[in-house]
Structure 1
Amino acid sequence: MPSVDSSTRLRAHDELRLIAIEQFATVGFAGASLQQIADIAGYSKSSVLYHFASKEALLEAAIAPAVDALEVLFSEYIAAGRSDEARAAFIEQFVDFLIRHRLEVHTFINQGSSLRGIPIIDRANAVVAALGDAVCDEHASTVDRMRFGVALGGAAFILVADMTFPDLGDIVPVDDARDALITVIGELLALINR
């Protein structure tokens, strides 16, 4: 019986994970199928199921690293305190996180409510809610909470809009987006709790 090289299995695992997150971000979790992911990757559906027991397991593998990174970023933000300097540093780190994990963030921000009950989505939703509570203290107005939502949701949207709506073209190249997002998110969050 021929043996399968473990590096081949790892490559297939990573390739499937990357294709899956692209599909989940562009056509949605409900719209993506294991068969479509297998076809795009050039594998059989049974090969996908060899690596991932279910579509939910594939979703977990695809977005867990981003949720882990967001939890670390959130912990560092809380530890740094609420000074203007700490907020500015957080915004830069947060924008870098959004750019690095834009597909994952788009998936759990924009599909989070429809995917409740899937453990990794529930975990992501909890971190986003905790981050919102940390940015917007208990005295925050509805307007302040909306500012936070627009900052997060707007950034998640703009970073994948060209994939979601290919007819629009490259709305904002990622290289140009970083500085703009730091400015816009900084302006929105600076108005909160003031």
Structure 2
Amino acid sequence: MANTSADDLLRTARELFAVDGYQATSIGHIAEAAGLSKSAVLYHYASKEALLDAVLAPAEAGLAAVLHRFPQASDGNRAEFVEPFVDFLLAHRLEASIFINQGQSLHGIPVIDRANQLVQQLAHAVSSEFGSIADRVRFGVALGGAAYILAAQENWADPDDEPERDDEVRAALVDVVATLLTTTSTGIAATRGD
């Protein structure tokens, strides 16, 4: 299989896993969408799980790099953490959606378990001092919401409008994620006078 076909196969699998879901996507479905035979797919990837691993490996490495760069995101540098994280999401929007939004239902698949561990490390690095349920919910909404918005962007955009440019989407995500991650329930209570 030529490099272009391998890239096309991975791109097709990534899109189908993200849009239709890993569980609902068969090797036959991927092969058909990629214009290949099922045996051609299985020749290069012994299983659907091996194909998922190949799809997610670059995103897993990218998230590990973001975490390595910012091992502890205290209040002072949590905002600095947001931009590289949003850049990671933009570069790996479909992959992030797969392991963030489908991660719980795919527990037991090694690449998903590794990605889930990275997400847990991310949560600890960014919100180690968050003690309340509301603060943990804020983190989850920031992470899952950003991943969902990027993966489903085409679905919620007005078809008559020009597509959003990545720089505009990036600026909006940085603003919203930073706001969510730098606002704790203690800070909200103080501003409300609670």
Q: Distance in 1 between matches of 2:97 and 2:163?
A: 15
Q: TM-score, normalised by structure 2?
A: 0.87
Of 176, 180, 186, which residue of structure 2 is paired with 1:184? Answer: 176
Of 20, 33, 37, which residue of structure 2 is paired with 1:40? Answer: 33
Tell me if the contact between 1:99 and 1:174 (Cα under 8 Å) persists in the aligned partners: no
Q: CA deviation at 1:90?
A: 1.5
Q: Distance in 1 between matches of 2:162 and 2:179?
A: 21
Distance 1:54 1:69, change over 3 A: same
Deviates more, 1:139-148 or 1:91-100: 139-148
SS in structure 1 opposite 2:5? helix
Partner of 1:27: 20
Q: Distance in 1 between matches of 2:172 and 2:157?
A: 23
Tell me if the contact between 1:162 and 1:168 (Cα under 8 Å) persists in the aligned partners: no
Deviates more, 1:130-139 or 1:105-114: 130-139
Tell me if the contact between 2:157 and 2:163 (Cα under 8 Å) persists in the aligned partners: no
SS in structure 1 opposite 2:25? coil
Instruction: Note the 1:1-194 alignment, pairs <5 A.
Output: 8-78=1-71, 82=74, 84=76, 86-137=77-128, 139-163=130-154, 165=155, 169=159, 173-175=164-166, 176-192=168-184
- Identity rate of aligned residues, in percent? 48
How many residue pairs match? The answer is 184
Listed one character per residue, the Cα deviations across residues 13-66 of structure 1 (whole Å, up to 9, x for unaligned) are 221111101000000001111111111111100000011000000000001110
Q: Distance in 1 between matches of 2:101 and 2:107?
A: 12
Tell me if the contact between 1:159 and 1:174 (Cα under 8 Å) persists in the aligned partners: no
Deviates more, 1:141-150 or 1:168-177: 168-177
Q: Which 5+ residue runs of structure 1 have no aligned equivalent?
A: 1-7
Runs of 4+ in 1 over 3 A off after TM superposition: 165-172
Q: Distance in 1 between matches of 2:27 and 2:63?
A: 27
Tell me if the contact between 1:161 and 1:171 (Cα under 8 Å) persists in the aligned partners: no
Amino acid at match of 2:98: T
Q: TM-score, normalised by structure 1?
A: 0.87
